[in-house]
Structure 1
Amino acid sequence: MRGDADIATTAALFADQARVRVLMALGDGRTLAASVLAAEAGLSAQGTSAHLAKLREAGLVEVERSGRHRFYRLAGPEVGEVLETLARLSPAQPVRSLRAGTRAQAVRFARTCYDHLAGRLGVAVTAALLDQRALTATDGIDSTERRPEDKISQPLAGHPYELGPDAETVLRDLGVDLAEVARRKRPLLRFCLDWSEQRHHLAGALGAEVAAAFDRQGWTERRTPGHRALRLTDTGAREIGKRLDVRLSE
């Protein structure tokens, strides 16, 4: 026989501020590495691991292996529903620092993944190329959403895209010479599953050239030398908005 649900034990897990920050970082449905969770929650790696162990033991989070790495997500939509309910019932916390405008958020907004665009910017540009028929989906899913077989934060072994009928025109408008890029020995089309956005972003020779074209034209720039976080300049926001109908703000 089983008794009543032990609500107090589960509720105690939500009574720790640091642990709640870990859950909130996962609350939008993403699957994140412990290092990313630590950055977003403002915790040490050791502290994050300890909280994740307790949350896994309680069945509130799940882990997914991808190569040597582990990625964490909420165990199900019911956990997210609990977070939303508690948020509605709880007072707002006072803002005591500018930490949220830091590297973690900057990296999530726009960054380089090797030599191509990633983050919200990279995913938005890839989706726009699909919308404007520079790319065409070959699996009947006309979006950049994650497919069931995709591994997190890895180049896709196979991808469901090919060049679309308007590729040359759309890419020329972005400053990319498609014929020249196609002559390179590197594969023209490759895609990654973006770890922060959980959607596909363009890689390969074409992805690298799109990123290079944005940089040449002053549409993007490094936030700090040697760091992969990018800033979308005012010119870039205007031109990308005009040419791709992509409008982003940090």
Structure 2
Amino acid sequence: MNAYPDFSYVAKLIAEPARAAILNGLMDGSSLPAGELAYRASVSAPTISSHLAKLVEGGLITVHQQGRHRYFKIADASVAEILEKLGTLAPPVQVRSLRQSEELKRVRRARTCYDHLAGELGVGLAESLVKRNMIILENGEYAVTEPGKELFSRWGIRLEEARVKRRVFAKACLDWSERRFHISGWLGAAMATRFFELGWIERVDGSRAVRLTEAGKAALREDLGYVETIRI
């Protein structure tokens, strides 16, 4: 008898390409119906039902009923974090078309990782906040300094709300595309939510990619000296 966790069970769930595509499609934190996930995974309706049932049973995704439709989403932030870490172990994506190349550039530049920002933007924000002494990194987690508290307050992020949330405050999450850290946890989610509310970032239809708006560029340049790098 093996007393250790059976990693192979979860590995088999993720190893199937269609199920991997489903998980990738939900990594922006959204809830999607089976039909949309079938399209993204390039499989039929009966096939997607089987895959979704296995992922729900395995605890990787959850399902909720809304009217006549069922919507699926990543189970929680811990599952998203594990999937993001697995991405750092995966081989580089083999680009086979111009469309795929453009999408890869967009998600590497800026994307959501469940409920927080990742890619070049997410990493750049984390490093700019550290450089300006707004946050400090200790033992894999970020802590907010006094100047940082003033900055986040000005942005409309209420740090005191984190006390009532049963979640890690701010964790250093290794980014799969940049191989450096971005901010996950409560603070990472709060920043992403507030940036959307302020109109500093906006979603790019059909993918996890987000776009830094002109207002966002101006605000981050003024507050953090952050300047977006355009990938060629």
- TM band (smaller chain): 0.5 to 0.7
Q: Determine if the alignment matches structure 1 residue 245 to structure 2 residue 219.
A: no
Partner of 1:130: 130
- 1:177 is displaced (CA, Å) by 1.3
Matches of residues 161-172 of structure 1 in structure 2 within 5 Å?
A: 161-172=142-153
Q: Determine if the alignment matches structure 1 residue 231 to structure 2 residue 211.
A: yes
- 1:100 is displaced (CA, Å) by 7.8
Identify if the C-alpha distance between structure 1 residues 100 and 67 changes in structure 2 by more than 3 Å, giving closer, same or farther. Answer: closer
Indicate the SS of the match to 1:126. Answer: helix
Partner of 1:71: 90
What do residues 80-117 of structure 1 show as CA deviations (whole Å, max 9, x unaligned)? xxxxxxxxxxxxxxxxx965871100000000001000
Which piece of structure 1 moves more, 178-187 or 104-113? 178-187
Matches of residues 36-51 of structure 1 in structure 2 within 5 Å?
A: none
Matches of residues 64-143 of structure 1 in structure 2 within 5 Å?
A: 70-72=89-91, 99=99, 102-138=102-138
Q: Determine if the alignment matches structure 1 residue 181 to structure 2 residue 200.
A: no
Q: Quick one: distance in 1 between partners of 2:87 and 2:107? A: 22
Partner of 1:195: 176
What is the letter of the counterpart of residue 207 of structure 1?
G
What do residues 154-176 of structure 1 show as CA deviations (whole Å, max 9, x unaligned)? xxxx6153232322112123221
Q: Give the conservation status (yes or no) of the 8 Å contact 1:111–1:118.
A: yes
Which structure: greater helix fraction? 2
Identify if the C-alpha distance between structure 1 residues 160 and 189 changes in structure 2 by more than 3 Å, giving closer, same or farther. Answer: closer
Q: Give the conservation status (yes or no) of the 8 Å contact 2:141–2:172.
A: no
Indicate the SS of the match to 2:140. Answer: coil
Q: Bigger radius of gyration, 1 or 2?
A: 1
Identify if the C-alpha distance between structure 1 residues 161 and 241 changes in structure 2 by more than 3 Å, giving closer, same or farther. Answer: same
Q: Quick one: distance in 1 between partners of 2:172 and 2:152? A: 17
Q: RMSD value over aligned CA atoms?
A: 2.6
Indicate the SS of the match to 2:112. Answer: strand
The runs of 5 or more residues in structure 2 that have no matched partner are 1-20, 22-84
Q: Give the conservation status (yes or no) of the 8 Å contact 2:200–2:215.
A: yes
- 1:69 is displaced (CA, Å) by 8.1
- 1:237 is displaced (CA, Å) by 0.7
Which piece of structure 1 moves more, 166-175 or 209-218? 166-175
Identify if the C-alpha distance between structure 1 residues 212 and 160 changes in structure 2 by more than 3 Å, giving closer, same or farther. Answer: closer
Identify if the C-alpha distance between structure 1 residues 168 and 183 changes in structure 2 by more than 3 Å, giving closer, same or farther. Answer: farther
Q: Give the conservation status (yes or no) of the 8 Å contact 2:88–2:177.
A: no
Indicate the SS of the match to 1:231. Answer: strand
Q: Quick one: distance in 2 between partners of 1:67 and 1:189? A: 20
What do residues 106-163 of structure 1 show as CA deviations (whole Å, max 9, x unaligned)? 000000001000001000111111122221133xxxxxxxxxxxxxxxxxxx615323
Partner of 1:38: none
Matches of residues 152-163 of structure 1 in structure 2 within 5 Å?
A: 159-163=140-144
Q: Quick one: distance in 2 between partners of 1:69 and 1:203? A: 16
Identify if the C-alpha distance between structure 1 residues 171 and 208 changes in structure 2 by more than 3 Å, giving closer, same or farther. Answer: same
Matches of residues 26-41 of structure 1 in structure 2 within 5 Å?
A: none
Q: Quick one: distance in 2 between partners of 1:216 and 1:68? A: 29
TM-score by length of 1: 0.51
Indicate the SS of the match to 2:90. Answer: strand
What is the letter of the counterpart of residue 110 of structure 1?
A
Identity %: 34
Partner of 1:28: none
User: What is the number of equivalent residue pairs in this alignment?
Assistant: 143
What do residues 165-214 of structure 1 show as CA deviations (whole Å, max 9, x unaligned)? 32211212322111123332222122210011111000001100000010
The runs of 5 or more residues in structure 1 that have no matched partner are 1-34, 36-65, 74-96, 139-157
